Amino acid sequence: MTASNDQPPAHARRRPVALVTGTAAALGLAAVSLAGPARAASTLTVAKDGSGMYTTVQAAVNAASAGDTISIAKGTYQEIVNVPTTKTGLTLKGATGNSEDVVITYDRAAGYTDSSGNKYGTLGSSVATFSANNLTVTGLTVQNTFNKDAHPDITDTQAVAVTAQGDRQTFRNDRFISRQDTVLNWAPSATGQYRQYFSSSFVTGDVDFIFGNATAVYDRVNIQLRDSGAAAGGLNGFLAAPDTSSAKTYGILVTGSSITSSAAANTYYLGRPWHPTSDAVGQLVIRQTSLPPAVKTAGPWTDMSGYSWKNARFFEYKNTGAGAGVNSNRPQLTDSQAASYTAQKYLAGTDGWSPVG
């Protein structure tokens, strides 16, 4: 699980020469401003049947300017979507408001190869990559349809649906579907400020399907643990795999949510610490969330690649449901500690960002 983000080069800007107001008055001329009027944001429409301005989402993204809205008509769009860092303030929304109506989908895994014979890797497997700051995505489904059972020759089975790798990104009323590595919350600079807020949405998978090193909040989200067929007490999968930098206080928070599953009892871990770099000390809190019987109640955390979960920063707080419990293998926040691990605290950052509500 490696990722990178190539930043575009900065372009020099020629500063316009302004006509000084006093000089203009002395010449009997009106002062002239060389600054043009601010550009009004536009709405670009996408429809597969040709009734919109574009027939693919990516074509609309390419044409959009910062601050624009892309409205996507009902339909299934089989494509890879990339929103670059230059498209700040962009909004992508499903035109109907029902996320099941507007589906962006593709079949791609980390082990697939491109035209040059190179593997895509985890980040390259992503169906939708959102790199721009101040992004809003609402009313959409993003699905990676890779099926490892149909591809026994593929050993790198990571299949990302969404890579969120910008700051102040908001995802509301969306669905994100895959199996392994569904949503990557990524900080291209491990210690940089990259915050992502997921609200009133649906996320499903089976292996490390919420993961990464960014600061991400899942607030009132329906998280589904997929049934891979393991018998009770066996292993179906792992919900989360954070690799938060030790320099960061906040990693991933799941709060006020519902975790559901039809999988057999005691077959899922809530998380394990991804440790790809020496400074990665995964941070994850699951609080005031309903847990299903599929969660391993005796100990919902586990080691990863030789790195102990006890060295990570994993906590629960006032969870409910058949999968909830308190024991020595389930560290709990105290009431006073919990006050510092809220959605608002995770997202405030250095600028007081407050998308919650």
C-alpha span between 215 and 44 (Å, rounded): 30
Tell me which residues of the chain have a pLDDT lower than 50.
2-33
- pLDDT value at position 1? 55
- The set of residues, in sequence order, having a beta carbon less than 8 Å from that of 109 and lying 6+ positions away, is 120, 125, 146, 148, 151, 154, 156, 157, 158, 159
Give the distance, in angstroms, between the CA of residue 165 and the centroid of all CA atoms in the same chain: 7
- pLDDT value at position 20? 33
C-alpha span between 49 and 77 (Å, rounded): 11
Where are the domains positioned within the chain? 42-348
Q: Which residues are catalytic?
A: 181, 208
Give the distance, in angstroms, between the CA of residue 61 and the centroid of all CA atoms in the same chain: 18
- The set of residues, in sequence order, having a beta carbon less than 8 Å from that of 40 and lying 6+ positions away, is none
- pLDDT value at position 235? 98
* Residue 202 structure tokens: 């649906």
C-alpha span between 224 and 219 (Å, rounded): 14
Strand-pair partners of 259: 223
CATH tag for 42-348 (out of 2.160.20.10, 2.40.160.50, 3.40.50.11860, 1.20.1110.10): 2.160.20.10
C-alpha span between 170 and 66 (Å, rounded): 16
SS3 336: helix
C-alpha span between 126 and 120 (Å, rounded): 9
Phi and psi at residue 348, to the nearest 5°: -60, -40
- pLDDT value at position 336? 98
Nearest to 322 by CA among 355, 349, 289: 289
SS3 347: helix
SS3 165: coil
Tell if the pTM clears 0.75, that is, is over it. yes
Residue 3 Ramachandran class (φ > 0 left, ψ -120 to 50 alpha, else beta): beta
C-alpha span between 30 and 357 (Å, rounded): 49
- The set of residues, in sequence order, having a beta carbon less than 8 Å from that of 242 and lying 6+ positions away, is 211, 212, 213, 251, 252, 271, 273, 274, 282, 283, 284, 312
Decide if 60 contacts 44 (C-beta within 8 A). yes
C-alpha span between 40 and 156 (Å, rounded): 45
In degrees, to the nearest 5, what angle opens at C-alpha 208 toward C-alphas 57 and 244? 95
